[in-house]
Amino acid sequence: MLAATVRVTRDIDAAEECAQEAYARALTDWTINGVPQKPGGWLTTVARRLAIDQMRRHATHERLVPLLVADADDQTEVTNTDDVGDDRLRLIFTCCHPALDLESQIALTLRFVCGLTTAEVARAFLIKESAMAARLTRAKKKIAISRIPYHVPSATELPDRIDTVLDVVHLVFTTGHTAPSGSSLVRDDLTSRALQLARMLRDLLADDSGVAGLLALILLSDARRNARTSDNGSLVLLEDQDRTKWDHASIREGIGLVRESLTRRPPTRFALMAAVAAVHAEAPSFSETDWGEIVSIYDLLLLTWPSPVVALNRAVAVGFAQGPLAGLSALDDLSGDPFLAHYTYYESARADFLYRLGQREQAIASYELALHLTDNTVEREFLQRRIAAFAADSAELGASWKNSH
Amino acid sequence: MSEYLILIYQDESDPSWRDPATGEKMMKDHMAFGEKHGASLRGGNALHHTNSATSLRHDKNGKVTVTDGAFAETKEALGGYYLIEAADLDEAIAIAKDVPAALGGVEVRPIMPT
């Protein structure tokens, strides 16, 4: 409904006011006349009419404040409320326009597509509400002044623009999946929003294999949610997770989507990432994981999306497929990468392989480096536990590792 | 419709400028751009090298200091501009993508209506 009204006002604030007014009118109107057959449609129509009235009143400002007045063709479809889906899509593409900086894209999407309050969006970014309000105001100003259009991009622009939207949704998910700082590992509020956005995109862009891939990735990663932390909130590695705690309905749905998204050539980045998650999901236990398959998926992924993190994940998979020595050598090949030099997982992966090779002291040194690189309490506690265990040469931890490999 | 200024920024110190073919190709590219987007073009010019630039800065006391050189010293310098008319930013970006700027890039700025 907000989306449909923005199309008329071209101004998100004005649209919100109209939407609120429509709800207020509904309270009185529906009490007297009964609830209409399509309450959503009724609300949208009223909000858009209010918006147009308001715009006409302000028509003298038209020259000074471009875009406040709807195009003539928009006004003709005021009573047509069947295109709500299209309106939501327009709103997503406006919020995720590449002319806006990435953080603003995410903030606008959470605020106006997901309907979070400014305070909730501020919490997602771990910043003050006033700072978030200022950011949103700046972003809305840029949309109005530079006339970022409220439409679904043309066919030639569409693939790139969908990628921008997918990046935003993926970032919302990863931020929630492993919160970069704070006291809990997973922020359910953000992962659920990402899932909701991915499902919405799937409804609106059913033919897009990137969308199918992203939804699959989110489903398959989120399916492990209950097994990723122990009862006291500490991190549980994939290796040690109780696989019966995985959400098998989500896994089934995710794997179906992976199959569908991989039929497209070349496969998209998110489809390949989801394929890796699917291999894990299908393995009955960690030791029965098809690491060779995972390495070959990462090889494909490096072709479509060469990134240091993908290269790191590939090196780790090599270690599991061919042994810790091969893994360590694959990691050392990446030692010159400036991004990985400051990446927690690079050092903790090295520590892991070093330990498996019996190089205890070097393993501890690597874990200590990793510890300096993360602010997430749960991750820090995990690394500290590992260091303590290695330092004491804990027979318990060491033995359990040596037994499983 | 809105007006946008497309500012062309390029690296003036790029060695390929010394090759006359670079200038010739750029001229041809701009002609082609003008033909393709003539309907949207409202104006445009190339600027002389920034070593011809003079900058004037106002201090808090209202005093003006005149100095030699471009206002901002950056790797890529403002070298020309187009004034265009477009329906929205997407249309302006589509036009800006065609602006020849092989040795740098362009900036798109909406113009305040008078």
Residue A19 lies in a domain: yes
What mean pLDDT do residues A245-253 have?
Answer: 96
| Per-residue pLDDT, A81 | 43
Closest to A190 (Cα-Cα) out of A116, A274, A270, A257: A116
Question: Quick one: tokens of B18?
Answer: 């010394």
Name the pLDDT band for A175 (thresholds 50, 70, 90): confident
Question: CB of A10 within 8 Å of any CB in chain B?
Answer: no
**Chain A: residue whose CA lies nearest to B107:** A99
Would you say residue B61 has pLDDT above 70? yes
Q: What is the mean pLDDT of chain A?
A: 82
Give the C-alpha separation, A22 to A288, whole Å.
58
Q: Tell me if A148 and B110 make a contact (CB, 8 A cut-off).
A: no
Mean pLDDT of the region B52-80: 91
Residues in chain B within 8 Å Cβ distance of A63: 113
Torsion of CA B84, B86, B90, B95, to 10 degrees: -40
Q: Tell me if B93 and A99 make a contact (CB, 8 A cut-off).
A: yes
SS3 A10: coil
A393 pLDDT more than 80: no
**Where do the H-state alpha helices sit in B8-107?**
20-37, 89-96
pLDDT at site B89: 96
- pLDDT of A185: 61
Residues from chain B contacting residue A64 (CB–CB below 8 Å): 113
Which of B88, B93, B106, B111 to mutate to probe the A interface, most A CBs <10 Å? B88
How far A66 CA lies from chain B's nearest CA (Å)?
8
CA angle B102, B9, A339 (to 5 degrees): 80
Residue A392 lies in a domain: no
The full set of domains in chain B, from first to last, is 2-85+104-110 (3.30.70.1060)
What is chain A's alpha carbon radius of gyration, rounded to the nearest angstrom? 25
**A177-183: average pLDDT:** 64
| Per-residue pLDDT, A264 | 78
Residues of B in contact with A153 (CB under 8 A): 90
pTM for this model (two decimals)? 0.72
For residues B14 and A235, give the distance between their C-alpha atoms in angstroms, rounded to a whole number: 52
Asked if the structure places residue A71 within a domain, the reply is yes
Helix ranges (DSSP H) in A223-332: 225-228, 248-261, 269-282, 291-304, 308-322, 324-332
Q: What is the pLDDT of residue A60?
A: 40
Task: Report the residue from B91, B93, B113 with minimal CB separation from A64.
Answer: B113
Confidence at residue A88, expressed as pLDDT on a 0 to 100 scale: 84
Q: pLDDT-based confidence at B87, cuts 50/70/90? A: very high
pLDDT of B71 over the 70 cut: yes
Has residue A280 been placed in a domain? no
Peptide bond into B15 cis (omega under 30): no
pLDDT the model gives residue A47: 74
- Above 90 in pLDDT, residue B94? yes
Residues B73 and A333: their CA atoms lie apart, in Å, by: 39
> Which of A:134-173 have CB within 8 Å of B?
145-149, 151, 153-154, 157
pLDDT band at residue A73 under the 50/70/90 scheme: very low
Nearest-angstrom CA–CA distance, A236 and A332: 26
Residue A90 counted as domain residue:
no
Q: What is the pLDDT of residue A357?
A: 92
Enumerate residues 6+ apart whose C-beta is below 8 A from A75: A8, A52
Residues of B with CB under 8 A from a CB of A: 2, 87-94, 108-110, 113
Interface test with B, best of A73, A147, A148, A164 (most B CBs within 10 A): A147
Tally of CB atoms within 10 A around A60: 9
Q: Are A343 and A308 in contact (CB under 8 A)?
A: yes
Asked if A247 contacts A226 with a C-beta cutoff of 8 angstroms, the reply is yes
Contact A64 B87 (CB under 8 A): no
Taking contacts as CB-CB distances below 8 angstroms, the residues of chain B near A157 are: 90, 94
Q: Does residue A48 fall inside a structural domain?
A: yes
The two tokens of residue A279 are 């291999």
* Percentage of residues of chain A with pLDDT beyond 70: 80
Task: Map residue A151 onto helix, strand or coil.
Answer: coil
Residue A93's alpha-carbon distances to A151, A161, B7, B85, in angstroms, are: 7, 7, 26, 23
Amino acid A84: pLDDT? 63
Whether the predicted pLDDT of A184 surpasses 90? no
Flag whether A67 is in a domain: yes
The more confidently predicted of residues A81 and A141 is A141
Indicate if the pLDDT at residue A400 is higher than 90.
no
Q: Is there a contact between A315 and A334 (Cβ–Cβ < 8 Å)?
A: yes
List the domain range (segments joined by +) for residue A9: 1-81
- Going by the DSSP 8-state scheme, the letter that residue A305 receives in this structure is S
pLDDT at residue number A37: 67
Could you give the number of structural domains in chain A? 1
Q: What is the pLDDT of residue A387?
A: 87
Asked, for residue A345, whether it belongs to a domain, the answer is no
On whether the CB atoms of residues A382 and A363 are closer than 8 A, the answer is: no
Where is average pLDDT lowest: A140-149, A171-180, A266-275, A338-347? A171-180
> Would you say residue A330 has pLDDT above 70?
yes
d(CA A127, CA A107): 12
| B94 interaction partners in chain A (CB closer than 8 Å) | 157
